[in-house]
A = this chain, B = another copy of it.
Amino acid sequence: MKQQQLIFNERPNGLPNASTFAMKEVEVGSPKQDQLLLKTLYISVDPYMRGRMADGPSYIAPFQIGEPLNGGVVGQVITSESDQFQQGDIVTGMLDFQEYHIVNADQVRKVNTFGLRPSVALGPLGMPGLTAYFGMMHIGEPKQGETVVISGAAGAVGQIAGQLAKKAGARVIGIVGSEEKAAYITETLGYDLAIQYKLGDVHEQLKQACPNGIDVYFENVGGEIGDAVWPLLNAFARIPVCGAISSYNLKEGERDIGVRVQTYLIKARAKMQGFLVGDYTEHFKEAYEELGKAIASGELKYQETIREGFESIPDAFIGLFTGENIGKQLVKVAEQE
């Protein structure tokens, strides 16, 4: 049997485009002892993948030209040659982007979806949810009555980070790029206020919105948004640095130029800390339990933006950088059986 595979065709210089990707027809194959045949249900496209498209040293190996792209996948077991899995099981793992997979049993884990759509394992109960959890709870540490500002507030990570800060008793302000997102985070997620960065000077809007200054800034976007935050930091502010999507598509030789942060960190005795979800593996159990319970009970809300069809992965990925998605951006590849 043949299937489609999505190939990394060309390193982008700036924003990725159609020629970054190529489709390839490959054989599905069949599972050997301790292996599984999976059908892809959902594929996750994430901003961090842009980093893997560059050829520099980083925390994760770069994609290789001519090789398949790779990322978060939810699949269903079609054939199991492992006693750890049964046909029909829903599993997730970091897999190549293709319609079917032959994997070793230890390459994936079973998903507890809490009765929800299995795509939840790629969003609030997956990498983005855990990222929000560790950044907010282990670095941001919001306290009752503090002011928390979140950029990319309606995104896959931001939507969870903001609700966790609300749960901790903070006043939470989200920065977003559209009226629709502003309405979503205030009306559905319970953010206290939304700031639309396209509607005017972000620093002035933040100053109005945060009369008591900013205690936690959850950094998802970088660039001028961060610049606007620094002068408003309170004493002992915490800045979990999760992403800087505004700078991911710089062209070769361009650097991310803006306001240097040192004097602001001194004035506020603030802590700014980059982090990756993979550094917190020993706390995954605690995080899954807390997020799972809150999602199952409906206390923690989330939204997904889903495109249909394996061939729409490139567009879904490129759309991340123009702010198309609310919540987790996914591609639905096949129906669950």
- Among B51, B58, B262, B272, the residue within 8 A (CB) of A256 is B262
User: A260: shortest Cβ distance to chain B, in Å?
Assistant: 4
The answer on a CB contact under 8 Å between A242 and B257 is no
Nearest CB to that of A279 among chain B residues? Answer: B269
CA–CA, A200 and B260, complex, Å: 22
- Select the residue from A242, A260, A261 with max chain B CB neighbours within 10 A: A260
- Among B257, B267, B271, the residue within 8 A (CB) of A260 is B257
The answer on a CB contact under 8 Å between A241 and B257 is no
- Residues on B with C-beta less than 8 A from A272 are 261, 265, 271-273
- Residues on B with C-beta less than 8 A from A219 are 262
- Among B255, B265, B275, the residue within 8 A (CB) of A241 is B265
Residues A262 and B226 in contact in the complex (CB < 8 Å), given A257-B257, A270-B273: yes
Kindly identify, within residues 237 to 292 of chain A, every residue whose CB is under 8 Å from any CB belonging to chain B: 241-244, 247-248, 255-276, 279
1/0 per residue A22-49: CB within 8 Å of B? Answer: 0000000000000000000000000000
> DSSP class of A's interface residues: helix, strand, loop or mixed?
mixed
CA–CA, A243 and B267, complex, Å: 10
User: A205: shortest Cβ distance to chain B, in Å?
Assistant: 19
Nearest CB to that of A57 among chain B residues? Answer: B267
> In the complex, which range does the number of interface residues on chain A fall in?
35 or more
Is A126 an interface residue when CB atoms closer than 8 A count as contact? Answer: no
User: A267: shortest Cβ distance to chain B, in Å?
Assistant: 5
The answer on a CB contact under 8 Å between B222 and A242 is no
User: A328: shortest Cβ distance to chain B, in Å?
Assistant: 20
The answer on a CB contact under 8 Å between A243 and B258 is no
- Residues on B with C-beta less than 8 A from A190 are none
User: A134: shortest Cβ distance to chain B, in Å?
Assistant: 11
- Residues on B with C-beta less than 8 A from A59 are 235, 267, 269
Is A71 an interface residue when CB atoms closer than 8 A count as contact? Answer: no
- Residues on B with C-beta less than 8 A from A51 are 267
Is A223 an interface residue when CB atoms closer than 8 A count as contact? Answer: yes
Kindly identify, within residues 219 to 242 of chain A, every residue whose CB is under 8 Å from any CB belonging to chain B: 219, 222-223, 226-227, 235, 241-242
The answer on a CB contact under 8 Å between A263 and B279 is no
1/0 per residue A53-92: CB within 8 Å of B? Answer: 0000011000000000000000000000000000000000
User: What are 28 inter-chain pairs, A to B, with CB distance below 8 A?
Assistant: A58-B267, A59-B235, A59-B267, A59-B269, A219-B262, A222-B260, A222-B262, A223-B260, A241-B265, A241-B266, A242-B266, A244-B260, A244-B263, A244-B266, A247-B263, A255-B259, A256-B259, A256-B260, A257-B258, A258-B258, A261-B261, A268-B274, A269-B273, A269-B279, A270-B273, A271-B271, A271-B272, A271-B273
Q: A59-B267, A257-B258 are in contact. List 4 more A-B contacts (CB 8 A).
A: A222-B263, A257-B257, A260-B261, A271-B271
Chain A contact residues, CB within 8 Å of chain B: 51, 58-59, 219, 222-223, 226-227, 235, 241-244, 247-248, 255-276, 279
By Cβ-Cβ distance, the 6 closest A-B pairs, closest first, are A265-B274, A244-B262, A266-B274, A222-B262, A256-B260, A271-B273
